[in-house]
Structure 1
Amino acid sequence: MYIDLEGVNLCREGSISILTLLVDTPIHDRRVCLVDVHTLGAQAFNTAGVLAGTLKDILQDETIPKGFFDVRNDSDALFAHFGVALQGVEDIQLMESATRKTTASRKFLNSLTKCIENNLLTSLGGKGLASWKLAKKKGERLFKAEHGGSYDVFNQRPIPEDISSYCIGDVQYLPELRDRFCTQRAYGWRDLVGEESKKRVAMSQRSDYQPHGPDRAIAPWSKEQNTLLDQWECVPPPCDDFDESDDDWYDDSPTSCRDIISSWD
């Protein structure tokens, strides 16, 4: 499953308005649900379903993978307001960063828009990408101050259509991004990204967590982690076993048709 949250100043100091949940399993067709946290409050997380499990149980189940794009403030808000301690998180923003070829190229994190532009343009096509970006832009106009909007629009009920489309857009292509980044990756690579995702969740639950600031755009990789990522991304040049400049190579076999025929006489 893939999750994104929206709210008014989304963090421990603000509130959660909408939880967007994309369910993508081999058994069921892909579907997206918008959970009205603003209206339901704690009931959104504590109400048991037909199998007696709650949304909180699912979010805290380490065996159920959950894809987020930058989990930090989502985790902060869930933990502070509803006591939800996320488990099983796969941070797709970190995955994208870890696929880059060099330490220098990993210095800064990319936005969701940049990740989709850089990695899904071929599969989406120009029209598909433009349609997705338009839906995002329409939503942003309703809540960004520079467009005369307000984040209070996330608490408006019924949820405006452009806000619904905006929320869906935040999770719509996370499965494709995850598949692209994880394909043919070593277990060590996955473990490294998984551990760093756990660190993000743990950091967001600390009392000194800062939900805003320019340093949030800097990738978290240590020198040792970057060295490992460089090694995993390095593809050695093909070895030319027949390089005639190699003085150690010597061929004493026949070199012409006449030689080959003669060798069988």
Structure 2
Amino acid sequence: MVDTESAVSTMLDGLEGLPTNPPSLYCDLEGVNLSRYGSISIFQLHVLPRNRTYLIDIYTLQNKAFSTPSKSGRTLKDILECAATPKVFFDVRNDSDALHSHFGIALAGVQDLQLMELAARSSFSRRVVNGLARCIERDAPLSAAERRAWAAVKEAGLRLFAPERGGSYAVFNARPLPPAIRRYCAQDVLVLPRLWALYDRRMGAAWRARVLQASRERVAMSQAATYNPWGSDRALAPANW
């Protein structure tokens, strides 16, 4: 849990000199109505070469999470806006919307894993996109025991934050963060590198280029004044896919 400026600086020091292929950084966000209309509570960052997952406390730190520098002077905002540093998100749109609206962050270097799954399909239609849970259930290279553990953590988290389960998204702002929510926040981002490797193997160079272009387009679209975070068209694949 990264919830002080010194912890942010120490975390950033550990992000220097990381490899870019495969990507080293896998990202996700949680919040209350995560979008320009809500707020960000937690920024999850998994660092593959370090095998370490950070839960960055945006609710507590606010802009200091993004403006606090490392020893070299580099901030998290710098990393997120660096096109040469790949960052993997699953459906970047609302994450980008929230980051741009609340903290002025213009994401760059994004590889959208939802688009990678779409591009990697060979026997299914590319008309609509899949959610992360479906991708994990269908594709993630997990053992039976890992799948059971993943399902248990997911269910425990849903009971606390999902309104239809009697929970509230406000639990992401509870401090200290409940252990079940900490595990929930960490586990999905831990699976992203495995899915990235699987889908990357299934794509050729042409599809990789299309994914990167469509990822950039998603970021740009999320920053537009007309962007609707909950539009029904979000389930559709990019045009001509």
TM-score (norm 1): 0.79
Regions of 4+ moved over 3 Å: none
Which of these residues, 101, 110, 117, is aligned with residue 130 of structure 2?
110
Which of these residues, 105, 112, 118, is aligned with residue 91 of structure 1?
112
User: How far apart, CA to CA, are the structure 1 residues paired with 2:86 and 2:217?
Assistant: 16
Residue 184 of structure 1, CA deviation: 5.8
User: How far apart, CA to CA, are the structure 2 residues paired with 1:78 and 1:65?
Assistant: 17
**Secondary structure at 2:207 match in 1:** helix
Residue 51 of structure 1, CA deviation: 1.6
Query: Tell me, which stretches of 5 or more residues in structure 1 are unaligned?
Result: 227-265
User: How far apart, CA to CA, are the structure 1 residues paired with 2:175 and 2:121?
Assistant: 42
Residue 192 of structure 1, CA deviation: 0.5
User: How far apart, CA to CA, are the structure 1 residues paired with 2:129 and 2:83?
Assistant: 26
1:37 aligns with 2:58: yes
User: How far apart, CA to CA, are the structure 2 residues paired with 1:186 and 1:114?
Assistant: 23
User: How far apart, CA to CA, are the structure 1 residues paired with 2:138 and 2:125?
Assistant: 14
User: How far apart, CA to CA, are the structure 2 residues paired with 1:185 and 1:78?
Assistant: 29
User: How far apart, CA to CA, are the structure 1 residues paired with 2:171 and 2:147?
Assistant: 25
- Rg (Cα) greater in structure: 1
1:157 aligns with 2:175: yes
What aligned pairs does 1:7-156 form with structure 2 within 5 A after superposition?
7-25=31-49, 29-101=50-122, 105-120=125-140, 123-156=141-174
Cα RMSD over matched residues? Answer: 1.2
Per-residue Cα deviation, 1:17-44 (whole angstroms, up to 9, x for no partner): 000000112xxx3100000000001000
User: How far apart, CA to CA, are the structure 1 residues paired with 2:97 and 2:196?
Assistant: 23
Query: Tell me, which stretches of 5 or more residues in structure 2 are unaligned?
Result: 1-24
Residue 175 of structure 1, CA deviation: 0.4
What aligned pairs does 1:162-201 form with structure 2 within 5 A after superposition?
162-183=180-201, 185-201=203-219
User: How far apart, CA to CA, are the structure 2 residues paired with 1:133 and 1:88?
Assistant: 31
